[in-house]
Amino acid sequence: MSWEISMTYSILIIKTGALGDVLRSTTLLKQLKKKYKDPEIHWLTSERAKELLQNNEFINKIHTIENHKDLPEHFNLILSLDDDEESAVIASDIKNNKLIGTYISNGKVDYTKDSAEWFGMGLLRSEEKGGLEKANRLKKENKKNMHEILANISGLDYNYEEPILNLIKEEIDFRKEFAEKNSISESDLIIGLNTGAGKRWQLKRWPVEKTAELADMLIEKLSAKIILLGGKEEKDRNGQIKELTKNKLIDAGNNNTMRQFASIINLCRLVVTSDTLAMYISIALKKKVVVLIGPTSAAEIEIYGRGKKIYANLPCICCYKKKCEIKPNCMDLISVENVYKTTEEQLK
């Protein structure tokens, strides 16, 4: 059947990165299904992020940007939610009835007027509209979480929809095997620690020494078992944390698939995490969280009443800088005592 006579309303979501942003963008799906009366929803993402969208009952088909030739020729609605050129080119090339978000205009990435609430706070804001200086000011002044803003620009109602991550039997079995291997029982208090942040956002990391000190306090004062979480880029960092602790930690390893990583997080009653993928997975799995926030926007992060956000009281907070000369910086100023006390309160 050609697209001209198809009766099913079709939607393409383009969101390829970052990994956490892909997952939290799934909050749009329920309202899209409701507003457009069960449309066919396609999602274009990266090969790396694809796992986060699998087994989602609201997505009809997942495509990858690395091999997107299987995309249909036409969509009724395209939500183009990335600011990179490759994604914007694809959004511009596909026939559509309506496009919201980024596209190519005069050879450059631009965004539609109805998406300015989001993209106007970023790198795409033109000099004629105040440029990066105004974008940064708007970012700092913003009080809405990302989910509400994405719903607004997409023309959807916002009812505190939560990100969607569904684990299947295979992943539940992996969780059980990991628990058995590490002598974890149902009665144990399991706390996950993920205070790294990869190479790109070094300022999101909480110091190794403080992480180790917190781990010892949680073990000694709360009789908790600590699972040390992280990806491949945290391997050396997590090794340093283990060396600094006086007590034994459970190392989750650094070569898990995305869904195995989520399965291990699902063992935890609470996760202490920086603003990184582990935080978004924990939120999607409805875990208690204590979130340590440095250069990014605390307002944009929604934790649905299941935890607390901790950040330093500095005028430069929400700067989105990757490097900082200020000593101590915003993450250095988050104390072990504050994180421990907050964790204890959340567990009660």
- pLDDT tens digits, residue range 74-89? 999 999 999 999 999 9
pLDDT at residue 230, as a whole number: 95
The end-to-end CA distance of the chain, in Å, is 57
Give Dmax (Cα) for the chain: 68
Q: What is the mean pLDDT of residues 262-290?
A: 98
Indicate if the pLDDT at residue 5 is higher than 90.
no
Q: What is the mean pLDDT of residues 296-318?
A: 95
pLDDT at residue 6, as a whole number: 53
Give the residue carrying structure tokens 């620009």. Answer: 153
CB 213 within 8 A of CB 247: no
- In angstroms, rounded to a whole number, what is the distance separating the alpha carbons of residues 309 and 301? 9
What residues pair up with 41 in beta bridges, in sequence order? 11
What residues pair up with 308 in beta bridges, in sequence order? 290
Q: Which two tokens stand for residue 312?
A: 């330093």
Q: Do strands 108-111 and 95-105 pair parallel, antiparallel, or not at all (unpaired)?
A: antiparallel
Q: Of 172-176, 214-218, 315-319, where does mean pLDDT reach its minimum?
A: 315-319
Q: What percent of the chain has pLDDT over 90?
A: 91
pLDDT tens, residue by residue, 19-44: 999 999 999 999 999 999 999 999 99
- In angstroms, rounded to a whole number, what is the distance separating the alpha carbons of residues 333 and 66? 41
- In angstroms, rounded to a whole number, what is the distance separating the alpha carbons of residues 101 and 40? 19
C-alpha distances (whole Å) from 126 to each of 110, 111, 144, 201, 296 are 9, 10, 22, 24, 22
- In angstroms, rounded to a whole number, what is the distance separating the alpha carbons of residues 205 and 147? 24
Indicate if the pLDDT at residue 3 is higher than 60.
no
- For the domain covering 171-347, report its CATH number: 3.40.50.2000
Indicate if the pLDDT at residue 157 is higher than 50.
yes
- Segments of the chain assigned to CATH 3.40.50.2000: 171-347
Q: Which two tokens stand for residue 52?
A: 């986060």
- In angstroms, rounded to a whole number, what is the distance separating the alpha carbons of residues 20 and 258? 11
Please provide the average confidence, as pLDDT, over all residues in the chain: 95
CATH 1.10.150 fits 3-153, yes or no: no
- In angstroms, rounded to a whole number, what is the distance separating the alpha carbons of residues 315 and 306? 27
Report DSSP state, residue 129.
Answer: G
Give the residue carrying structure tokens 């005592």. Answer: 337
pLDDT at residue 71, as a whole number: 97
